[in-house]
Structure 1
Amino acid sequence: MNLKKIISISAIVIISGLIIYGFILVRQIFAPNTKFDQNEVYIHIPTDANYQTAQAILAPYIEDMERFELVANKRNYPENVKSGRFLFTKGMSSYDLVKSLRRNIPVKLAFNNQERLENFAGRISSQIEADSLSLLSTIKDSVFMKENGFNEETVFAMFIPNTYEIYWDTPALKFRDKMIKEYRKFWTDDRVAKAKAQGLTPVEATILASIVHKESVKKDERPRIAGVYLNRLKIGMPLQADPTVIYALKKKANNFDQVIKRVLYNDLVMSSPYNTYVNVGLPPGPIAMPDITAMEAVLNPEKNDFIYFCASVERFGYHEFAATYAEHTLNAKKYSEWINKQGVKR
């Protein structure tokens, strides 16, 4: 066999080997490499995680970690681990997985119907990385509250219920700063002027809106209820709002999970700054997180002469309104008789 033939055969062998190696390499890089049944899963890599931490988190979702690590090393992922929320889809290759780990997917963070700051912090911590204690500590920072005109009772008014786009690994401080920006954005000059026209500051409008929110789930009725409460404030009459008494009872018991369907006479005389039967004016802070319709009801109340209202026994969910105490007494008697028949004790 002459030298030329040997060189030709050697070249063929080398090229064939390279082709086979290339095929194997392509397969390792681009072949499916997931082992979850869902169409998609979100992976959460915590702040300051190193490659070893990321490996432990990723392992349950990857079929062949050696194939993944081959690509990860070639693309310098071990030196550039990013924190955040990352989307994996079923059948992704190692190449796609590493690519996805460089694209932090925002969370559609939503909150509403929270009764106090502690509940709110728990709700947020279930959606982003920051824990509830760090959120509470940051929100209740004395310097921050003073600079923005809040105190521990009113800082809850800062949070406007909505859906916000935010990164999962957003720290507590950045979350708080985003929320105060959203608060300022909500309180436009027009809304501030409308609150002032009712004799209220933005915080006071939120406190009243929290009562309106709790009084009725019927959005079309809220402007009328807001009008009644504003009428009471103008004449110096106590608000006499049952939801504030319920809040006071829950706060006193330190149990916001209890369900109170009926306010009793003894409850109306309990000592609490949130009891609007014994205290004139607004309570010291919101009793819930009012939604936008309750806020707009306070800013755009119905102009009426009503001073009283109670739950309707004919239009469930709505209320009966009265301008005189005599008329209100008849409405209240109907409701009292109805609720007694239902056997509701508390």
Structure 2
Amino acid sequence: MWRHIASNALTLFVFLLFIGGGAVVWGTNKYTSEGPLDQAICLQVPSGSSMSGVSQSLVEKGAISDGTIFRIGADYEGKTTAIKAGSFLIPENASMSDILQLITQSGRSTCGTVINYRIGVLSNSVQVNELNTQTQAYQEIARFNLESEERPAEYQIAKDSAGTRFQIVVAEGTTTWGVVEALKQIDILEGEIEEVPTEGSLAPEGYEVRAGMDRNAFIAQLAALQQQRVEKAWTERVDGLPLENREEVLILASIIEKETGVARERGQVASVFVNRLNQGMKLQTDPTVIYGITNGRGALGRGLRRSELRAATEYNTYVIPAMPPTPIANPGLASIEAAVNPENTDYIFFVADGTGGHAFAETLDEHNRNVARWREIEAERANQSSNN
């Protein structure tokens, strides 16, 4: 009898083991196979969300077929508490495993609405973009000037909506005064700015920010990145540079930044100024003179006068035989790198060439010919303008 009972118990155990194993295989297949989504969706994951809440939302949106299997899979992978807040693009037919990776890995939002505040050299703008989940391309739904235009309704709605992301882009060549004035106008930030940072100390870059962030904390973030960039550039500088310290790297980089917007020219422009400094020549660059007049507070709005080019000021590089005492703008990373690693040329002159770039020269005669060509281009343009 006992042998019969033992035999039945063993049979039941094998049966249950078989059933359990089959369930595991079935669940694993459900977890890793293609999901039911027939088109991509944007999943909003609020801060503080639980795996239970996210799985329920995924079921309601038709992204997964079984919330329990999703939660078991998350627990098995040790990611139950690894959820990141944000907006995540869930592709069509994404498996439960794929979705879990999307919402627990980087935490970088990949869809939804993005408000971009752009701090430029001459103007500041705001753009509201929304991802079209079908085309997976962002579409502009609103744009306005930060200082002079009213906030449209689309901006207000997006600003107050959960899941909206915010970015602040600081353009190369801005001044610290310009950055501070723009930050005062960005209404998702809080706090009074304690002081205007030193010129050149803020890193132009795109930054992800959150609503309610303190303005001083944001400025500190820009300053820390610029310091990091200059420190790295200083340690990697080439030999023979006429630069004594990191501040002079920023000064030269800011001049390069203001002299050309053509990426391929930065190394050449840097070589001109380095060659001039090494030869004891004056830099003779208009942007420094302009900065001495405006103090970086807006655009000059006119051409330089002869009297201004002759005036003996600390920023007039047509008069002083050295660099100005401070940077004249916030240089970007490429200009900083060009300042410490200029191209190896014998150029000591350059002038506009009519294409947006410059013509470079090693001798004064060659430079004078380039200037003559530029004067002809200016005259032709003036003549065309008068005839239109």
1:160 equivalenced with 2:203 (yes/no): yes
Whether the aligned pair in 2 keeps the contact of 1:311 and 1:318 (CA below 8 Å) is yes
Query: How far apart are 1:222 and its partner, in Å?
Result: 1.2
Higher relative strand content: 2
Cα distance in 2, alignment partners of residues 284 and 139 from structure 1: 17
Contact 1:310 1:320 in 2 (8 A): yes
Higher normalized helix content (fraction of residues): 1
TM-score, normalised on structure 1?
A: 0.57
> Does 2:222 match 1:179?
yes
Instruction: Give the Cα separation in 1 of the matches to 2:217 and 2:159.
Output: 23
1:130 maps to 190
**Structure-2 residue corresponding to 1:331:** 370
- Match of residue 244 from structure 1: 288
Code of the residue aligned with 1:125 in structure 2: it is K
Residue 224 of structure 1 deviates from its aligned partner by 0.4
Q: How do 1:263-342 residues align onto structure 2 when only pairs under 5 Å count?
A: 263-313=304-354, 316-342=355-381
1:221 aligned counterpart, secondary structure: helix
| CA RMSD after TM alignment | 3.2
SS at match of 1:109: strand
Q: How does 1:154-233 map to 2 (within 5 A)?
A: 155-189=198-232, 191-194=234-237, 198-200=241-243, 201-233=245-277
Shift in Å, 1:121: 0.4
The question of whether the paired residues in 1 share the 8 Å contact of 2:349 and 2:363 is answered with yes
**3-state DSSP of counterpart to 1:169:** coil
Q: 1-side partners of 2:279 and 2:173: how far apart?
A: 31
What displacement does 1:270 show? 2.2
Give per-residue Cα distances to partners, 1:22-48, cap 9 Å, x unaligned: xxxxxxxxxxxxxxxxx9799xxxxxx
Whichever residue aligns with residue 130 of structure 1, its letter is E
Contact kept, 8 Å, 1:139 with 1:176, in 2: the verdict is: no
> Cα deviation per residue 1:304-323 (whole Å; 9 max; x = unaligned)?
1111111114xx11212111
User: In 2, Cα distance between the equivalents of 1:230 and 1:122?
Assistant: 33
CA deviation vs aligned residue, 1:160-213 (integer Å, no higher than 9, x gap): 111122333222442343233323332344543417752322322222122112
Deviation at 1:263, TM superposition (A): 4.0
- Say how many residue pairs are matched: 229
**Conserved? CA contact 2:177–2:196, under 8 Å:** no
Aligned to 2:178: 119
Q: Which amino acid aligns with 2:181?
A: G
Q: List gaps (5 residues or longer) in structure 1.
A: 1-38, 43-84, 90-99, 141-154
Deviation at 1:326, TM superposition (A): 1.9
Q: Which has the higher contact order (CA 8 A, sep 6+)?
A: 1
Identity over aligned pairs, percent: 27
Q: Which one of the candidate residues 237, 259, 278 is aligned to 2:301?
A: 259
Alignment-mate amino acid for residue 343 of structure 2 = E
Q: 1:88 to 1:266 in 2, by over 3 A?
A: closer
Contact 1:40 1:88 in 2 (8 A): no
User: Counterpart of 1:46?
Assistant: none
Determine helix, strand or coil for the equivalent of 1:244.
helix
- After superposition, residues 10-89 of structure 1 pair within 5 angstroms as none
Q: Which runs of 5+ in 2 are unaligned?
A: 1-111, 116-156, 384-388
- Matching residue's letter, 1:326: D
3-state DSSP class of the match of 1:165? Answer: strand
Q: Which amino acid aligns with 2:368?
A: T
CA deviation digits over 1:103-134, x for unaligned, max 9? 8x763222114543221102223334236xx3
The change in CA–CA distance for 1:86 and 1:309 in structure 2 (over 3 A counts) is: closer
**What is the CA-CA distance between 1:280 and the residue it aligns to?**
1.6
